[in-house]
Structure 1
Amino acid sequence: MHTFAVTERDVTSAWVAACNKLDRRDNPDRTGLHTVVRITDPLQDDAVFRTELDRLRAAHHLEPLETVANTLFPTALAARCTNHGELAERYRRMYPVLTRYPGNRLGTYFGRLVAYPGASKASIDQLGTVIDRLRTQTTGTKMAAAYEIDIAHPADGADEPQAEALVHAAGKDNSYRGFPCLSHLSFQLGRDGHVHAAALYRSHYMFERAYGNYLGLGRLLAHIAQQVGLACGTLTVVAGHARLDGPLTHLRPLLTGTGRLAA
């Protein structure tokens, strides 16, 4: 089994390191199992690098990285809202329209986080619950985290020392590929006043989705931290199956720092 764990400061460095771990002669199918990517400052990335990557993505008919990131956190909408409650409410009102767009038929990640499909017709704002729990913990006994298995309903265990958000809906998400590849999000409160996050993906396509996902997850983590009055901590992304997809001959110059991407 090919696997790896990398730790880097910013999104760009982490993505490059992960891709290079997959792009090895002893790994001909360019895949890995149970891979771990840890980003200590997930709000930072190289703008020049991102522009180059977007140029190549456009040549291969993929949406910009910002579009991918916005499925996890709608940055522009959040900037126009005064708090999380307003953001969640405005997004829920937009959600029926968003799901009409190609690729959004089953929903968006942020939609699952603020309007999780429960057993009843009422949806659940999981992020609001996470924010409330973390806010409570900062003023009382500081509980860091709990060991988790992704079977609990988000409304369960409100008094437990954990903050978690489910994306995968049992009985609803039955496809072998596609949305949602992100299964679970977990947030931990550090004693140093930072909020950290761990994301679990069943599969991760490095060229098609991963860089944009890292951006969106970092912004989501920063939003939660800001709402609670804490600092944004480390983002850890675990993929059950990771694949270095895309045009490798065009990607390698940037991955090795030897030149610009050639679309």
Structure 2
Amino acid sequence: MKAIAQTTCEQAWLKAAEHLAEVRDHTQYNLIVEIERPVLHEASDHRIRKTVDGFLRDYGVHPISTVAGTIFPAAEYVNHGARGVYETYPEEVYPEIRLGPSDWGRYAHRLVRWPTSSGNPINPLKTLVEKMKQQLNNGRRMRACYELSLTDSAIDLPLYDPVADGRRSRNGPCLSHVSFKIGATDILYLTALYRSHSYVSRALGNFIGLAGLQAFVCDQTGLAPGPLVSISSYARLETDAGWSVSDALQLVESARLAERG
């Protein structure tokens, strides 16, 4: 196990990536990363992000913004408010970006359209927000009952479908569970559990997407954003998309140089 704590998404990614660069096989079981201020982005963070984004674009894989959008549709929220998240994204955007029947989908879609046995999908994210608002308004605040998990319960936020996803050994969803907690001072904690985490192509975009989701829930409830924690049961500096180990290590070094300016 390795625990890392940093202030911003970019700083946390860089510190965790540096750790993976140094360990055997560039992998770590149970990598825990705490991001103290996930919605903060300093000048040095933009330089880190630009470096990682340039690397990903050079190899023709999804840029950071696309990866972040698989978790939270920030553009639809900016342009259309909560309706953009709850309606525009699942009804208009998602059908255009889904790759076909073999595509498992997007986390952002599962958050707002989870199938049920009745055939009528539920909106777990909206239900969670409404539940939080009700708790906050009536003064009886339950601090640890806001989950986005494996189940199809109306009080959970489902991300991993054990029936459909359990048959996939690769190219399936890696984010399994998202948990929200209300702190004693009305701050919102977010904890995300990954079964596997690719730190070159995915992790930074994942952090930014989760931060966007957390900020959305804060906007809707009036809570303040607290720390974001990512728990990766298996994390790695991967070489799946054409780059070599030395390329991945050079990326980490370049990101550190960019951070220093």
Shorter-chain TM-score bucket reads 0.7 to 0.9
Q: CA deviation at 1:110?
A: 0.2
Q: Could you tell me how far apart the structure 2 residues matched to 1:259 and 1:12 are?
A: 11
Q: Could you tell me how far apart the structure 2 residues matched to 1:129 and 1:240 are?
A: 28
CA contact (8 A) 1:117 1:169 kept: no
CA contact (8 A) 2:16 2:33 kept: yes
Letter in 1 for 2:144: A
Aligned to 1:195: 188
2:164 corresponds, among 166, 172, 177, to 172
Report the RMSD for the aligned CA atoms in angstroms.
2.3
Residues 1-263 of structure 1: pairs in structure 2 closer than 5 A? 3-24=1-22, 27-45=23-41, 46-82=45-81, 84-85=82-83, 87-94=85-92, 95-100=94-99, 105-139=103-137, 140-146=139-145, 152-155=151-154, 158=155, 164-173=156-165, 174-246=167-239, 247-255=247-255, 257-258=256-257
Q: Could you tell me how far apart the structure 2 residues matched to 1:124 and 1:34 are?
A: 32
Q: Could you tell me how far apart the structure 1 residues matched to 2:24 and 2:194 are?
A: 22
CA contact (8 A) 2:73 2:85 kept: no
Q: Could you tell me how far apart the structure 2 residues matched to 1:203 and 1:184 are?
A: 12
Moved more, 243-252 or 44-53: 243-252
Q: 1:71-110 deviations in whole A, cap 9, x for unaligned?
A: 111111111224x3453112221232221379x8221110
Q: 1:13-66 deviations in whole A, cap 9, x for unaligned?
A: 100111122222xx3211111111110111123112111111111112212100
Q: Could you tell me how far apart the structure 1 residues matched to 2:168 and 2:118 are?
A: 22
Q: Could you tell me how far apart the structure 2 residues matched to 1:150 and 1:69 are?
A: 19
Q: Could you tell me how far apart the structure 1 residues matched to 2:169 and 2:117 are?
A: 23
Report the TM-score when normalising by structure 2.
Answer: 0.87
Q: Could you tell me how far apart the structure 2 residues matched to 1:258 and 1:80 are?
A: 35
Letter in 2 for 1:253: E
The structure where helix makes up a greater share of residues is 2
Residues 110 and 150 from structure 1, CA distance in 2 versus in 1: closer, same or farther, beyond 3 angstroms? closer
Q: Could you tell me how far apart the structure 2 residues matched to 1:73 and 1:146 are?
A: 21
Residues 185 and 259 from structure 1, CA distance in 2 versus in 1: closer, same or farther, beyond 3 angstroms? closer
Sequence identity of aligned pairs in percent?
Answer: 31
Name stretches of at least 5 consecutive residues in structure 1 with no aligned partner: 159-163
Aligned to 2:242: none
